[in-house]
């Protein structure tokens, strides 16, 4: 188990390095000069050269990348901004604030959004899928199956404003979405994020309903389920104790893959509801040609996905005893 985790984490670090290197390279492949943005309207060549030197942009690309990499583990010194302790992701070109603390400030918003939506997706999607499988072929199944098709074809930027208009403005059922730190007031945190959670989870929930249904139907036809029935186990116990376990394995796999999409969806949701999360940072960084910020957001996002996938793989071993972590 421990050696498995060590190996997985080492593998994850390699993946993150590759991702950051590619992002680094792509950024400079774009014909835009971030130094020019600092220089102002009347830009003397000497000033431009100085800015470049201060930003460390007069060095070869791989040296710059090396400095960036070292900064994460050992911190680094900037002529322009002063010292930046580890983990240092540099300073934003646009706002001059340290990238790392900007991300740390915004991270709880995105994490709250993504985790909350995950809970809604898994709880609601699996529940409706189970109901559909339990009542397979009956009206309840047909309602669940067809409404999931509708749900899957919706878009966040369409449903979001629509629901906000009706639920928040017209009917005033729930407060306008915003972020209240959970440490400050858990109830407000919950009520203010309710709408974004629902909106972000709608398209995913539908998929999980359909997947759970088909997986359950498949599992119920398995030999070992028949054996359980032949042993005299009640239908309920067969359904929840035997078939459920087998159905959850592929669902977990898909969920691991969906985490990345969910994070992407969180960015759109943040924009839709003007939540100040990582997504907002990312969009602004692209608009401002802000390399350090963009790199920082990319690497933190990638790290989150890779880490959660390791968690998913470990969960496997708990659900399925045939999986050995080695």
> Which residues of the shown chain bind other proteins in the complex (CB under 8 A)?
137, 222-224, 226-235, 242, 245-246, 319-322
Distance CA 138, CA 110 (A): 39
In whole angstroms, how close is the CB of 249 to other proteins at the nearest point? 9
* Cα diameter, the chain: 87
By C-beta, is 66 or 240 nearer to other proteins?
A: 240
Of the pair 200, 228, the CB lying nearest other proteins is at 228
Residue 236 to residues 105, 222, 225, 241: CA-CA distances in angstroms? 47, 16, 12, 8
Query: Minimum Å distance from CB 119 to other proteins?
Result: 24
Closest CB to other proteins among residues 204, 242:
242
Smallest distance from the beta carbon of 256 to other proteins, in angstroms? 19
Residue 64: how many other CB atoms lie within 10 Å: 17
List the structure tokens of 247. Answer: 């159905």
- Smallest gap, in angstroms, from Cβ of residue 219 to other proteins? 11
178: left (phi over 0), alpha (psi -120 to 50) or beta: beta
Q: Based on CB atoms, which residue is closest to other proteins, 187 or 230?
A: 230
In angstroms, what is the minimal distance from the CB of 136 to other proteins?
Answer: 9
- Whether the link from the prior residue into 77 is cis, omega within 30° of 0, is no
Per the CB < 8 A criterion, the answer to whether 206 and 215 are in contact is: no
- Which one, 31 or 139, has the nearer CB to other proteins? 139
């Amino acid at each position: 188990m421990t050696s498995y985790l060590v190996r997985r984490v080492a593998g994850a670090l390699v993946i993150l390095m590759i991702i950051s290197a590619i992002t680094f390279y792509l950024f400079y492949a774009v014909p835009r000069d971030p130094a020019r943005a600092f220089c102002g309207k009347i830009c003397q060549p000497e000033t431009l050269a100085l800015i470049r030197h201060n930003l460390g942009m007069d060095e070869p690309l791989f040296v710059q990348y090396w400095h960036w990499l070292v900064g994460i583990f050992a911190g680094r010194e900037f002529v322009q901004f002063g010292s930046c302790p580890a983990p240092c992701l540099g300073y934003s070109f646009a706002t001059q604030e340290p990238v790392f603390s900007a991300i740390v400030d915004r991270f709880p918003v995105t994490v709250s959004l993504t985790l909350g939506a995950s809970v809604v997706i898994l709880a609601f999607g699996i529940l409706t899928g189970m109901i559909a499988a339990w009542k397979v072929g009956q009206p309840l199944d047909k309602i669940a199956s067809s409404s999931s098709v509708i749900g899957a074809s919706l878009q966040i930027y369409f449903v979001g404003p629509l629901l906000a208009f009706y639920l928040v403005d017209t009917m005033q059922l729930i407060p306008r979405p915003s972020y209240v730190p959970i440490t400050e007031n858990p109830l407000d945190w919950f009520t203010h994020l309710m709408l974004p959670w629902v909106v972000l989870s709608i398209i995913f929930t539908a998929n999980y309903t359909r997947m759970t249904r088909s997986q359950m139907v498949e599992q119920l036809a398995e030999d070992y389920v028949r054996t359980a029935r032949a042993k005299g186990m009640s239908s309920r116990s067969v359904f929840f104790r035997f078939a459920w376990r087998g159905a959850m394995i592929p669902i977990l796999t898909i969920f691991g893959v969906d985490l990345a999409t969910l994070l992407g969806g969180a960015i759109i949701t943040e924009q839709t509801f003007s939540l100040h999360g990582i997504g907002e940072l990312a969009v602004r960084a692209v608009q401002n040609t802000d390399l350090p910020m963009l790199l920082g957001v990319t690497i933190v996002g990638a790290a989150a996905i890779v880490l959660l996938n390791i968690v998913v793989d470990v969960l496997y071993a708990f659900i399925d005893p045939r999986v050995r972590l080695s």
